[in-house]
Amino acid sequence: MSSQCTSHALGARAPRNEHGFRPGSIVRVACEHFVTYDAVEFRPGPYLNMIIGPNGTGKSTVVCAIALGLGWKPSVLGRAKDVASYVKLGHTQGWVEIELQGYPPPQRNVTIKRILFRESNTSDWILDGVAASAREVHQAVSQFNIEVGNLCAFLPQDRVADFAAMTPQRLLQDTEHAAGHAQLSDWHMQLIECGRQKSELQSRLEQEQREHDYLEERNTVLERDVRRYEERIALEKRVCALEVRIAFAEFHDSKSRYHAAHAKREEAKRALERIFQSIEPLEQELERAQEKLDKMELVSSSHRREADDASSALRRYSTARERLDAEMAALSEQEKRLEAQAAERRELMQQMRSRIADLERAIEARATPEPLAPYEQRLRAVKAEHRMASEDLRDMDSQSADLYTQQQRLASQMAEARVSLERLHTERHQRLQLLARADRDTFEAVQWLQHHQDMFERTVYEPVLIAVHINRPEAARAIETCLSWPIQRTFVCQTRADYDLFTHELIDKRKWRLNVVELEAARSLASYTPPIPKADLLSLGFDAYALDCIDAPEEVLKYLCSAASLHAIPLDLRGRVRPQDMESRQAVRRYIVADTIFTTTTSSYGRRLPQTMSRVLKPLRSFAHTSDQQERQNAAAVLRHLEEQHTACQASIQHAKSMREQHAARVDSLSQQRSEAASAYQLVADAHKESQRLELKLQSQRDRLAHEEAQPSLAVQRREIHATRQKYAVELSKLAERSFRCFEAIVRSNAASDETLLASLHACTDVQTCRASLREQQTRIEESEQAVRAAVAEFTTIKTRTLELKRCAEQKLQEAGPDVQSLVQTSLEDGRHESVEHLHTLLDRARAQLDVPWGVGPGVMETFRARKDKMAELKRTIEQARSEQNRLVALIEQVEGMWLPELEALIRAVNERFSAAFARLGCAGEVHLARDDNYEKWGIDILVKFRDTERLQLLTNQRQSGGERSLSTILYLLSLTELSRTPFSLVDEINQGMDPRAERAVHDQMVAMTCQPQAGQYFLITPKLLPGLLYHELMKVLIINNGEWLPERLSCTLSEILLTHIHSL
């Protein structure tokens, strides 16, 4: 694409195709749901295109479509700033499509489509049928040199005044963009930038040269002070060198003390080592004595353990002997009781035999009980049958409870369904539901107001949508068209205090978006008089005014009269009124006939003729009372279904009740049978239990008797006691023998332990003697260690001091300057040891000389050197600046040599055409190039004269009238037409305020200039035409036809449509 731009002349200079279009010309424009258009498509011509139509029909919409469709922002139009504002009301999106003529083959036409979205305020782009970005669209448009933002090429209606208000500088830049050489504007911008850089560079150069001369002069004055300061610096260096030499002298003195302390420390360590060597024999002797003592203690412990073990055994034997003595005593007591126990056992056995005989007789006397199994089987069967019957009864009770619960639930649902159905039959409910769907904040505010109406001084009326009742249903659509949605959702307050309270509670606190008005100082309802008396209105064919078709509180009616003028809008609900008759009467501004609303206005031009616009009424939405018929039918069907379920549920309850009564009677019968069977079973079971009890008691007595009879006799028991006594006597003799042996072991162990204890006493004495000798040696060690620590501490202190003095001396030497270091190094290499006192004397003398006032400070040298450095830096920057200045001068001369001849030629050409155009009107006009040293201030001055008595005056936004500014503007733009590089130009209603003579002359000149073979595409938009104007075969007239009688699609010519409409009247 870029290669084609280079090979072809831009804009109107490019060759035409077979239809006369040059590259970049607009071939087709199409819109849908855009500003005033539902749908439109037209094809302009390659030369002058005159777009005419009454006000409000959509002429300026064409301008908006071209600007927005080619990718420019809404700000270039001087209108709404958001793209969403250009979507037609009532629609969520719209689109614009522009087709541009492409370059010669094989390049095809460029089609750009922009889709606008109202809610998101965004756009989508389609370039040649493919989704694209705004950047890609801009690149496609810029190849044709289209400049919608340039007022010299594209002048919308709302920016006509901006052209006259343009500064000469801006006018020059726009003219360079629109006409002349392709690089004219770039050259100008380059000259402006170079001139700015040159000016800044010259100012900086002069300032730096002045600063350099000043610094050089000041340094000449400082030279004498600098020499005196150098002498002072030399003395300061000597003082510094003496301080460093003193530090090194102190270091050498401390180093001598360090060597003496080191020798003392080593001697103390050797003395301590000798003491440690004398301790070793004593420690060995102590170890031998301690080993001997430990062995004696082990032997003594062994003897003590043997004695303890024997004592423990002796105690155990004593305990066993005591137990056997007690057993022997118990045997003697048992032997004494044998006779009495034998008599008691004989009597007990006789009693047992008697009880056994009684039990046997009782058993023989009882009859044999009946078998228990039949009674038990009968009882089980009756219980099982009773349990099953009870479970069935409980199941039936549960089913009945569920049926009763279902009956209550259905009754509640039926009540709710009846309430819902009743609500659906009310007008208020329907409108509240509509409000809840369309505006949640307003719906919530209505609910809040119902519960807080008592907070206000007077009644606050609900929104108009709720408060208004339409008494003539056939007028509902007309009423809704007259009342916009903001009016329908408006609350009405009667006092200012109520208004403040309402807005504070709901808007300020809750942040709800609401419409509310207050009518405290409003006109009375009677003051709103209709424009035509009602009797005359009926004679014209109207049925009533819009206000007559609604019922509402008086305050609400007052608001509707002031906000929507319902008292002044007549309605013809049957379509009898002719709009032509109403237009000639000019009695009312708005009226409704059948399903069309007409608005009549008076033209601001010429004979002030009336103009009528029409549009179809909005579809019925807010006041459609029958719009919920399907919802009511659904609610009635739900109610019928619930009633059927409720009837079925009641029948089930009755059936369940009957069945329960039958099951309850059977359960009662089975309960009686179960009681009888249980009683019979219990009687037989008791008889069986009694027989078993007697048998068990008899067997128990027989077992006890057998046990007693099996006991041993008296003689046997005596023999057993004697045998046991002999066994205990043998055990006692054994215990006595063992106790004696334990006594002997105890005596032996105690004797051996005493001997061992005497030997351990001698060993303990030897250990204590060795330990006393070691303690004496330890005291000597501690004293020697104390001496070592003192010597080490002294050595460490001196070492630390010496190292610190060395570090300080070296640091001072390092911190000193190179001159001082050289002086100190020389004195140290001489090998002479200078005393510290001598060096302090020399230092005091030097400091005394330094304390004498010198009259100069350290800042003198710093200032002198800083100025010298600054002077050298300034010299370098001055040389660089002069080099850059020479480069800029050469560049400016080169660019000006290309720019100025082209610019002067352009201004001459524009001036010739502009002056000639004014001369043809009997006026005078000139275009001058305003020059200045600053290229940014170069501009174009437009001088005009409209009267012979005047002189040429500069065109401004205040000096000339509106018509004179419009005339000057259009003639300047026409002067650029032949020179323009843009593919098309556009002016919108530029003839505003012109007198007929000037308008006719301008029109003729425009036709003559824009219909030449070399002219480009031009758009002229105007709402009026004078009779007898000049037309040309190359120009194209586009007439905007807009009205309710137009068909959706044109299938015939405009003449045929007009003839058809005239015949229908």
Predicted local distance difference test score (pLDDT) of residue 82: 86
Above 70 in pLDDT, residue 1055? Answer: no
C-alpha to C-alpha distance for 861 and 799, rounded to whole angstroms? 43
pLDDT in tens, 669-685: 888 888 887 888 788 77
Q: Which of 163, 169, 167 is nearest to 191 (CA)?
A: 169
Q: Burial code of 621-643, b = ≥16 C-beta within 10 A, e = fewer?
A: ebbbbeebeeebeebeebbeebe
Region 507-535: mean pLDDT is: 90
Which pairs count as long-range contacts for 481-484, CB under 8 Å and 24+ apart, including other chains? 481/592, 481/597, 481/617, 481/618, 482/546, 482/564, 482/566, 482/569, 482/592, 483/560, 483/564, 483/566, 483/622, 484/564
pLDDT, greater one: 10 or 957 = 957
Above 60 in pLDDT, residue 855? Answer: no
pLDDT in tens, 621-656: 888 764 445 666 677 778 788 888 888 888 888 888
Q: Which of 87, 89, 91 is nearest to 65 (CA)?
A: 87
C-alpha to C-alpha distance for 163 and 186, rounded to whole angstroms? 22
C-alpha to C-alpha distance for 565 and 575, rounded to whole angstroms? 22
Predicted local distance difference test score (pLDDT) of residue 110: 92
Q: Which of 48-62, 422-436, 507-521, 890-904 has the lowest mean pLDDT?
A: 422-436
Above 60 in pLDDT, residue 761? Answer: yes
Query: Given pLDDT bands bounded at 50, 70 and 90, which one contains residue 1053?
Result: low
Residue type, 1016: G
The C-alpha angle 300, 306, 310, rounded to 5 degrees, equals: 145
Above 90 in pLDDT, residue 288? Answer: no
The three-state secondary structure class of 212 is helix
pLDDT, greater one: 757 or 525 = 525
Predicted local distance difference test score (pLDDT) of residue 604: 52
C-alpha to C-alpha distance for 907 and 928, rounded to whole angstroms? 7
Region 886-890: mean pLDDT is: 89
C-alpha to C-alpha distance for 666 and 654, rounded to whole angstroms? 19
Above 50 in pLDDT, residue 1? Answer: no
Q: What's phi and psi for 817, nearest 5 deg? A: -75, 170
Region 461-466: mean pLDDT is: 93
Q: Point out which residues pair with 616 in neighbouring strands.
A: 596
Predicted local distance difference test score (pLDDT) of residue 568: 92
Q: Provide the total of helices (H) and of strands (E) in the chain, helices listed first.
A: 25, 23
Cβ proximity of 344 and 711 under 8 Å: no
Examine residue 156 and say whether the peptide bond preceding it is cis (omega within 30 degrees of 0). no
Region 503-523: mean pLDDT is: 91
The C-alpha angle 1016, 1020, 1026, rounded to 5 degrees, equals: 130
DSSP conformation letters of 319-340? HHHHHHHHHHHHHHHHHHTHHH
Above 90 in pLDDT, residue 566? Answer: yes
Region 775-782: mean pLDDT is: 78
Element (H, E) at 550: strand 550-551
Query: Given pLDDT bands bounded at 50, 70 and 90, which one contains residue 9?
Result: very low
Predicted local distance difference test score (pLDDT) of residue 3: 34
Q: Which of 308-322, 532-546, 748-762 has the lowest mean pLDDT?
A: 748-762
Residue type, 600: T
Q: Point out which residues pair with 611 in neighbouring strands.
A: 601
Q: How far is CA 292 from CA 276, 284, 302, 767, in A?
A: 25, 13, 16, 9
Q: For residue 983, count CB atoms less than 10 angstroms from its CB and return exposed for 0-12, middle for 13-18, buried for 19 or more.
A: buried
Predicted local distance difference test score (pLDDT) of residue 831: 58
Cβ neighbour number for residue 836 with a 10 Å cutoff: 15
Q: Which of 109, 143, 138 is nearest to 125 (CA)?
A: 138
C-alpha to C-alpha distance for 172 and 161, rounded to whole angstroms? 17
Structural domain boundaries in the chain: 10-150+985-1064, 162-230+854-981, 426-626
Predicted local distance difference test score (pLDDT) of residue 390: 82
Token pair of 308 as six digits: 């303890």
pLDDT, greater one: 33 or 164 = 33
C-alpha to C-alpha distance for 536 and 526, rounded to whole angstroms? 19
Mean pLDDT of the chain: 81
Q: For residue 220, count CB atoms less than 10 angstroms from its CB and return exposed for 0-12, middle for 13-18, buried for 19 or more.
A: exposed
Predicted local distance difference test score (pLDDT) of residue 4: 35
Rounded to 5, what percent of the chain is helix, strand, coil?
A: 65, 10, 25
Cβ proximity of 324 and 731 under 8 Å: yes
Alpha helix segments (H runs only) across 816-835: 818-829
The bridge status of strand 26-34 relative to strand 37-42 is antiparallel
Cβ proximity of 261 and 795 under 8 Å: yes
Query: Given pLDDT bands bounded at 50, 70 and 90, which one contains residue 96?
Result: very high
CATH 1.20.1050 fits 162-230+854-981, yes or no: yes
pLDDT in tens, 168-186: 888 888 888 777 777 888 8
**446-460, 787-801, 836-850, 863-877: which has the highest mean pLDDT?**
446-460
Predicted local distance difference test score (pLDDT) of residue 7: 31
Token pair of 63 as six digits: 């301008």
Predicted local distance difference test score (pLDDT) of residue 11: 38
User: Distance between the two ends of the chain, CA-based, in angstroms?
Assistant: 56
Query: Given pLDDT bands bounded at 50, 70 and 90, which one contains residue 578?
Result: confident
The three-state secondary structure class of 50 is strand
The percentage of residues in the chain with a pLDDT greater than 90, rounded to a whole number, is 16
Task: Spell out the SS3 assignment of 145-191.
Answer: CCCCCCCCCEECHHHHHHHHCCCHHHHHHHHHHHECCCCHHHHHHHH
Q: The whole model's pTM is what?
A: 0.44
Q: What is the dihedral of CA 750, 753, 757, 758, to 10 degrees?
A: 80
Predicted local distance difference test score (pLDDT) of residue 921: 81
Helix axes 168-178, 859-920, angle to 10 degrees: 70
Query: Given pLDDT bands bounded at 50, 70 and 90, which one contains residue 559?
Result: very high
The three-state secondary structure class of 29 is strand
Cβ proximity of 711 and 335 under 8 Å: no
pLDDT in tens, 524-552: 999 999 988 888 888 888 999 999 999 99
CATH 3.40.50.300 fits 10-150+985-1064, yes or no: yes
Residue type, 566: L
Q: Which of 484, 487, 486, 470 is nearest to 573 (CA)?
A: 470
C-alpha to C-alpha distance for 652 and 638, rounded to whole angstroms? 21
C-alpha to C-alpha distance for 188 and 906, rounded to whole angstroms? 14
Predicted local distance difference test score (pLDDT) of residue 550: 93
Q: Which of 461-475, 589-603, 648-662, 960-974 has the lowest mean pLDDT?
A: 960-974
Cβ proximity of 1031 and 1007 under 8 Å: yes
Q: Which of 1044, 971, 252 is nearest to 593 (CA)?
A: 1044
Above 80 in pLDDT, residue 164? Answer: no
Cβ proximity of 264 and 794 under 8 Å: yes
Element (H, E) at 612: strand 610-616
Residue type, 813: L
C-alpha to C-alpha distance for 1030 and 1032, rounded to whole angstroms? 7
DSSP conformation letters of 966-993? HHHHHHHHHHTTTTB-SSEEEEESTTTT
Predicted local distance difference test score (pLDDT) of residue 567: 92
Residue that is written with structure tokens 């009684």 in the block = 358
Task: Spell out the SS3 assignment of 264-297.
Answer: HHHHHHHHHHHHHHHHHHHHHHHHHHHHHHHHHH
